[in-house]
Amino acid sequence: MNKLKNERGFSLAWVIGIVVVTSIISALTAGVIVYNNNKLSYDLTYGDLATDTDLNEFLTVYASILSDYYEDVDKGALLDEAIAGMMDYLGDDYSTYLDDESTADLFDSLSGEYTGIGVSINNSNKSIVKVYDNTPASKAGIQVGDIIVGFNDTDVRGESASNVVNMIKNTSDYFTLQLEREGKTITVSLKNETLITPNVEYYMVENTTTGYLYMETFSNTLSKQVEDALNDLENQGMTSLIIDLRDNTGGFLTAATDVASIFLKKGSRIYSLDYQGDVSNYNDKTSEHKEYNIVVLINENTASAAEILAAALKESYGATIVGETSFGKGKVQQTMKLDDGSMVKYTSALWLTPNGTCIDGTGIKPDYAISNEEQKDENGTIIGISDLQLSKAIEILNGITN
């Protein structure tokens, strides 16, 4: 990718903040997620299930295996496989069973918070590549370029970055880090805190009044981060905005709704849900809105909740879309956590754009279809990418404002 994308992807993806537990959330995992933890189902009760002959047949088989199978059977594992089998039967890529570890990883990634000291580190040499403001790391004086060489006076030069991360994040009390800086070793004392996972990156485009705002994941804290970023950009004189949703694979539906509501006028359509032909509309209920020109960047990895925001900005706000056709995930998933910490995630509805379009399988087509170009050396090795999509967005907004 271009220099901007390389820096952004590295610092945010490894926001193990010493230390966010990161996992790469694909479109099949994050999606558009809503909760469904407090009810059995839309129209079934336990009384209905008690008289369900098909279910009783399943229970008979289950009981027979437990009592008559020639070897001991792990009841939990047996039921896990049965649940996974039900999800597989649906034949829907987005309806899945997640074990307790995968469930924890997913919700940790989307919670918008983490326990750590607030740095990003290089995976190869354990050097500090970013220190976040107002965190234990910044307050302790840790600097970009410092290399972690010790933990609680124990040499960790031979340890992997992930092992060092685990040492730090699993420590509840104060600890020390030994850091190599300009040939000298210094020691800092600090303690983990609950911090907001940075899901945005923003800046003013040089020599313009255009702001740039990248959103990585639709986490629980995204709307607050977007509001803070916009306030800062507006204070710097921003009159137009580029919203970068490239490689954003989604997250919580509520987060997409909250972010869209920052920009849209009250009463504007954000999306609709189609549940077995019954369509419900969801409009902006807030008084807040923006009026500056917006260009949204998308690519083939822009999916689900990110597509909801892109479509709402295009059709209800009048934003211009630049880039490549998006992933095309027009389905919403309900989640149901099970007692053992695992979870089932299943498709419950189609979502529609403000104009009533279902983009499932087709995606959002940009107003300006542009692909980035690879930069290669004389041997044909890719050494970078020219971000023509970002350049086009700047060109469009400069043309409007000038």
Query: How far is the C-alpha of 139 from the C-alpha of 115, rounded, in Å?
Result: 16
How large a percentage of the chain has pLDDT more than 90?
Answer: 59
List the structure tokens of 178: 């030994």
Q: Are residues 191 and 204 in the same domain?
A: no
Does 243 share its domain with 345?
Answer: yes
Residue after which a domain boundary falls, among 196, 225, 259: 196
- pLDDT tier for residue 49 given thresholds of 50, 70 and 90: confident
Domain boundary among 196, 219, 236: 196
Which two tokens mark 192?
């983990």
Same domain? 186 vs 86: no
> Given 130, 329, 345, 392, which residue is catalytic?
329
Residue 42 has pLDDT above 60, yes or no: no
Same domain? For 188 and 213 the reply is: no
Query: Are 139 and 75 in the same domain?
Result: no
Range of the domain at 124: 3-27+113-196
Burial 17-44 (b: 16+ CB within 10 A, else e): bbbbbbeebebebbbbbeebeeeeeeee
- 23 lies in the same domain as 53: no
Exactly one of 95, 223, 261, 304 is catalytic; name it: 304
In a domain, 32, yes or no: no
Residues 43 and 151 in one domain: no
Strand pairing class (382-386; 343-352): unpaired
pLDDT digits over 327-377, tens only? 999 999 888 888 888 888 888 899 999 999 999 999 999 999 999 988 877
216, 307, 315, 324: which one is catalytic?
315
Q: Report the C-alpha gap between 226 and 249 in whole angstroms.
A: 17
Q: How many CB atoms lie within 10 A of CB 187?
A: 11
Q: What is the CATH number of the domain that holds 323?
A: 3.90.226.10
Bridge-partner residues for 388, per DSSP?
none
315 given a catalytic annotation: yes
Domain boundary among 196, 211, 226: 196
Q: Does the annotation count 324 as an active-site position?
A: no
pTM: 0.76
Asked whether residue 182 falls in the same domain as residue 219, the answer is no
Q: Are both 273 and 335 inside the same structural domain?
A: yes
Q: Are residues 157 and 71 in the same domain?
A: no
- What is the rounded end-to-end Cα distance, in angstroms, of the chain? 29
Distance CA 128, CA 181 (A): 11
Question: What's the number of domains the chain is made of?
Answer: 3
| One domain for residues 52 and 12 | no
Answer yes or no: 189 catalytic.
no
- Give just the sign of the alpha carbon dihedral 214, 220, 223, 297: positive
